Amino acid sequence: MTGLRPPDDAASRSEAATERLLDSALATPRWNELDRARVRRAVEMEWRTALAAAPRPAAIRPRWHAAAASAAALLLIIGLAVSEHSSNHRGAVLGQVARTLDGGMSLHAWGHWSRTLYAGEPIRVADRLSANGPALITLAAGGTLRVASGATIKISALSQVTLEQGLIYVDCPPEPTSCGALSVATRIGVVEHLGTQFEIMSDDQWVRVRVREGRVRWTAHSGPLLVGAGTELLATSGGRIAQQPVPTYGRLWLWTAALAPDYPIEGRRLTDFLNWISRELGRPIEFADNRARQSAGQTILHGSIQGEDPLDALAHVLATTSLRYELADGIIRVHSNP
Amino acid sequence: MHAADLKLVQGMRAGQQRAFDEFYRTYADRLAAFAARRSSLDAANLQDIVQNTLIKAIRNLHGFRGEAALFTWLAHICSNELADARRLAARRPAQSLDGNPGLLHEVEQLQSGSNQEPFAALAARGQQQAVMKALQALPSHYALALEAKYGDGLSVEDIATTLGITPIAAQSLLARAREAFRAQWGDAMSAPTLAEPAS
């Protein structure tokens, strides 16, 4: 008969010491969230590019009960959709989710039902969406809608987004057809873009509109009001309105730059890239000398800046040219290298 | 056969966002830690290594057959990236501190003692390097299992899933890996090291 052996103290001490040693020597500092998100963006872009280039593998055949459940769910969705009130543009595509960070967007429908929307999925008229993390929506008519974490929006029509709460940013580049007649409705009033970039924040009691470029028309009970670039408008539910200057660049707008759409530089002129950067950073471009201006007009870019935010992209692209830049007094000053 | 890993890769190849999300969530941090333990690169270069590793993996997803665990496959790509980075660094002339703000900051911190006692910091780094050296002398599945448990904080169940074995087998593998490490560590400690100079 074998009795219980007492624990071998020396062996267990050695085991514990080994574990302590491995714990302390193998620990590494955690990645910060910004770096993690930046790498993710680049890797996800690569994944999407690879998907677009490769033929899709044959779909995995679903089991019969999964197929039946999917069919039943589809019938339920169709039935509910038909029973909802209809409109001429219901279901029409306003744009698509281009990128989400930290939790993405939820699509709500029929009371408590919701599902996560992923990059590449369409946004349709009548969709109600809430952002669990920042999200970029590219608009089918041109331009982008950037949604801050915590915002809830409803796509009321192809030409109107209702901001129920939170913060969004609308970028309608000045080309004639861009964004069409997009407006943002809030509980207090409506903002119509007039070829512009603007940010709008809404609450039950007040709305704040910051115009970065161009002009917007604010319409409420008190009538229409034009608000120009560099102006912040505050409107309360009681009908009071105040305006004050606001910078068009700097930290107030960093969240929008982090959601900038990708800009394909391959084969584009440096001037076009600088104009894009200028809009994303809210800083005009100024050439310090004629040589710099000519060089920017003649330089054709190659490569990619996918996954880089605008300021990083500016630094990396100019480093490959004969030009350099400085950020000063709200402008980007471009010099030719001595 | 690593069925769960293969399914994840098939999902990514089929364009499933959920599969990509899981892939990035599961492996990006682990690869960053894997690379950090094997190099003295700064944070920016480590990011490049992880990014390049994941991008190369994505370009070659069709080549993953599930015969090895997905992390083993990624770790192999990452090791090649690190080797490339080392070769590149060896070809570059030595830089002055002025051109390397990160290193300059590190040296200033060591000089001022504002972060840690400089000698303690150097000793800790020396010990880390010695542990990694001992790990690298082990069979690779032992090293990966120990890193997963003690570096990445994975549970035995997670390690079992990663390696495609049962939790009992994972527990047993870890015990053998620790035993092998102890033997290797004893050998390493009997030789002179930077952390403990021979008298």
- Sorted by where each begins, the domain ranges of chain B are 1-92, 117-193
Give the burial class of B190: count Cβ atoms within 10 A of its Cβ; 0-12 exposed, 13-18 middle, 19 or more buried: exposed
Helices (DSSP H) in chain A: which residue ranges? 9-26, 33-53, 64-83, 254-257, 270-281, 290-298, 310-319
Name every chain B residue with its beta carbon within 8 A of the beta carbon of A25: 127-128, 130-132
Domain B117-193: give its CATH code.
1.10.10.10
A233-243 mean pLDDT: 88
pLDDT at A332: 93
Name every chain A residue with its beta carbon within 8 A of the beta carbon of B40: none
A271-297 mean pLDDT: 93
pTM: 0.49
Identify which of A258, A248, A288 has the alpha carbon closest to the alpha carbon of residue A318: A288
Share of residues in chain A with pLDDT > 90 (%): 32
The reply to whether B61 touches chain A by the CB within 8 Å rule is yes
Is the pLDDT confidence value at A328 over 70? Answer: yes
Is the pLDDT confidence value at B21 over 60? Answer: yes
Name every chain A residue with its beta carbon within 8 A of the beta carbon of B13: 51, 54, 56-57
pLDDT at B116: 46
Domains in chain A and their CATH numbers? 78-253 (2.60.120.1440), 262-336 (3.55.50.30)
Minimal-distance CA residue of chain B relative to A102: B21
- Domain B1-92, architecture per CATH: Orthogonal Bundle (1.10)
As a whole number of angstroms, the distance between CA B87 and CA B64 comes to 27
Share of residues in chain B with pLDDT > 90 (%): 13
Per the structure block, which two tokens stand in for A275? 């104009």
A109-133 mean pLDDT: 81
What band does A286 get if pLDDT is binned at 50, 70 and 90?
very high
pLDDT at B120: 59
Is the pLDDT confidence value at A61 over 50? Answer: no
pLDDT at A5: 46
The reply to whether B160 touches chain A by the CB within 8 Å rule is no
Name every chain B residue with its beta carbon within 8 A of the beta carbon of A27: 150-151
Per the structure block, which two tokens stand in for A148? 């801050």
Please judge whether A47 and B50 are an interchain contact, meaning their C-beta atoms are less than 8 angstroms apart: no
pLDDT at A3: 40
As a whole number of angstroms, the distance between CA A264 and CA B94 comes to 35
Task: Please give the residue that has the higher pLDDT: either B189 or A207.
Answer: A207
Is the pLDDT confidence value at B9 over 70? Answer: yes
What band does A274 get if pLDDT is binned at 50, 70 and 90?
very high
pLDDT at A236: 87
Please judge whether A36 and B54 are an interchain contact, meaning their C-beta atoms are less than 8 angstroms apart: no
From the list A22, A35, A44, the residue facing B150 with the nearest CB is A22
As a whole number of angstroms, the distance between CA A36 and CA A55 comes to 29
Enter the DSSP assignment of A110. T
pLDDT at A47: 83
Is the pLDDT confidence value at A87 over 50? Answer: no
Identify which of B33, B81, B17 has the alpha carbon closest to the alpha carbon of residue B54: B81
Give the burial class of A214: count Cβ atoms within 10 A of its Cβ; 0-12 exposed, 13-18 middle, 19 or more buried: middle
Is the pLDDT confidence value at A89 over 90? Answer: no
Task: Please give the residue that has the higher pLDDT: either B190 or A280.
Answer: A280
Mean pLDDT of chain A: 81
pLDDT digits (tens, 9 = 90+) for B70-118: 988 998 899 888 888 877 766 554 444 444 445 445 445 444 444 444 4
Task: Please give the residue that has the higher pLDDT: either B46 or A14.
Answer: B46
A→B contacts (Cβ < 8 Å), by residue, are: 14-15, 18-19, 21-31, 35-36, 38-40, 42-44, 46-47, 50-51, 54, 56-57, 59-60, 118-120
- Are A164 and A199 a contacting pair, CB within 8 Å? no
Name every chain A residue with its beta carbon within 8 A of the beta carbon of B156: none
Tell me the residue ranges of DSSP E strands in chain A.
93-100, 105-109, 113-117, 122-124, 128-131, 135-139, 144-147, 152-157, 160-171, 183-185, 190-202, 206-220, 223-228, 231-236, 241-245, 285-287, 323-328, 331-336
From the list B17, B62, B150, the residue facing A118 with the nearest CB is B17
CA B76 to chain centre: 10
Name every chain B residue with its beta carbon within 8 A of the beta carbon of A24: 124, 127
> Looking at chain A, how many residues does it have?
338
As a whole number of angstroms, the distance between CA A99 and CA A135 comes to 6
Task: Please give the residue that has the higher pLDDT: either A38 or B64.
Answer: B64
Residue A130's DSSP bridge partners are A106, A152
As a whole number of angstroms, the distance between CA A32 and CA A289 comes to 40
Identify which of B166, B153, B4 has the alpha carbon closest to the alpha carbon of residue B70: B4
- Provide the 10 A C-beta neighbour count for residue A30: 10
Burial A134-162 (b: 16+ CB within 10 A, else e): bbbbbbbebbbbbbbbebbbbbbbbebbb
Q: Do strands A323-328 and A122-124 pair parallel, antiparallel, or not at all (unpaired)? A: unpaired
Residue A148's region, left for phi above 0, alpha for psi from -120 to 50, else beta, is beta
Task: Please give the residue that has the higher pLDDT: either A243 or A52.
Answer: A243
From the list A15, A23, A57, the residue facing B13 with the nearest CB is A57
Per the structure block, which two tokens stand in for A129? 């969406």
pLDDT at A30: 74
pLDDT at A75: 43
Is the pLDDT confidence value at A195 over 70? Answer: yes
pLDDT digits (tens, 9 = 90+) for B148-177: 888 888 888 888 877 778 888 888 999 999
